[in-house]
Amino acid sequence: MERYDWWKPGIIEEYAAQGNEKRIGNIIHKLSYGKKYSCYEEDPEAAMNVNELLVERGNQRAIQRKIRGFVYGNYIYEKQPKAAVSFINSLVKQGNQQAILWKIDGLTKGEYGYDKSPKAAAKFINSLVEQGNQKAIKQQIKSLLYSKWRYYKRNRSTFIALNDLLVTQGNESAIQRKIEGLVYGRYGYKKNLQFAITFNDSLVDKGNEQAVKRKIEGFTDGKYNYEGDSETAALNDSLVEQGNEQAIKRKIGGACLW
């Protein structure tokens, strides 16, 4: 047996295919530190080759090891913060969603080798928003939701635009925010009860399960400004026929369905 038969690329790929991250991590650890922690001789170059092999295949753990290595000098990579930035930026260009979040956090907090620059973070997020990137939009919405009231009030039109963009992409959290906004005058939306019903009904017509649930809850519990009518029982019964558990529970429980 050759010296490092136990970690040859074929073996690594086999472990990767199995999702055996722990075994791969152990191999890299043994090669990195050698007899200090195991019976194997230290071979940092081999450890880096193993990790780079996985990086090329898009393995997320390997990518994280490489970034941490560049930032902190861990594993077999020399400490090179700017190399971490370049690597993350290259992943961002490839559309790697985790890398996008790393860059946002890096610019916002001064992590991952980035210089702290909230303005640069905002500019980066806005560029992603323009591209319709959902994770970036969610990050922007989160920032607005938890910002100071004056800032939020000044930017509520931006918030609505971002939220509506997610709505068009079928994001359920955004849809729920819009419904609640129209019913209660929240999240920058003006209170418009009739439009809330019209909007939700349009989703019901498309078979949106959450919209159906909102409509039935509206009839039975007085939510979302719905008033009871003869459609409710039929709507619930149609869901019962489809095997919908919540609809079955409502029927068995004797919910007040007009």
Q: Is residue 84 part of a domain?
A: yes
Angle CA 193–197–201, to nearest 5: 170
Q: What whole-number percentage of the chain has pLDDT above 90?
A: 14
* Cβ–Cβ < 8 Å for 11, 23: no
Q: Is residue 2 part of a domain?
A: yes
CA-to-CA separations, 70 to 21, 24, 55, 61, in angstroms, rounded: 21, 20, 14, 14
Q: Is residue 25 part of a domain?
A: yes
- Look at residue 52 and tell me whether its pLDDT is greater than 50: yes
Q: Is residue 242 part of a domain?
A: no
Q: Is residue 15 part of a domain?
A: yes
Last residue of a domain, one of 99, 131, 163: 131
Ranges 10-19, 62-71, 140-149, 152-161, most confident? 62-71
Last residue of a domain, one of 79, 94, 109: 79
Q: Is residue 168 part of a domain?
A: no
The pLDDT assigned to 121 comes to: 84
52 and 87 in one domain? Answer: no
69 and 7 in one domain? Answer: yes
Last residue of a domain, one of 19, 46, 79: 79
61 and 26 in one domain? Answer: yes
9 and 71 in one domain? Answer: yes
Q: Is residue 49 part of a domain?
A: yes
- Look at residue 172 and tell me whether its pLDDT is greater than 60: yes
86 and 69 in one domain? Answer: no
* Cβ–Cβ < 8 Å for 211, 231: no
113 and 72 in one domain? Answer: no
CB atoms within 10 A of CB 1: 5
Confidence of residue 231 (pLDDT cuts 50, 70, 90): low
Ranges 5-9, 54-58, 180-184, 211-215, most confident? 180-184
CA-to-CA separations, 191 to 92, 155, 184, 252, in angstroms, rounded: 39, 18, 6, 35
63 and 22 in one domain? Answer: yes
107 and 64 in one domain? Answer: no
55 and 13 in one domain? Answer: yes
Separation of alpha carbons 195 and 225, rounded Å: 10
119 and 55 in one domain? Answer: no
CA-to-CA separations, 56 to 59, 67, 70, 114, in angstroms, rounded: 8, 14, 17, 23
pLDDT in tens, 79-114: 999 999 999 999 999 888 788 888 888 888 898 999
pLDDT in tens, 187-202: 888 899 889 889 998 9
In terms of Cβ atoms closer than 10 Å to its own Cβ (0-12, 13-18, 19+), residue 89 is: middle
Q: Is residue 189 part of a domain?
A: no
Take residue 192 and report the two structure tokens written for it.
């418009």
Confidence of residue 73 (pLDDT cuts 50, 70, 90): confident
For 200-258, give the DSSP string: HHHHHHTT-HHHHHHHHHHHHH-GGG----THHHHHHHHHHHTT-HHHHHHHHTT----
User: What is the DSSP secondary structure assignment for residue 6, as one 8-state letter?
Assistant: G
What average pLDDT does range 222-239 have in this prediction?
61
The domain of 92 spans 80-131
Please state the domain count of the chain. 2
* Cβ–Cβ < 8 Å for 220, 250: yes
Note the pTM of the prediction, 2 decimals: 0.55
Separation of alpha carbons 219 and 232, rounded Å: 7
Separation of alpha carbons 67 and 53, rounded Å: 15
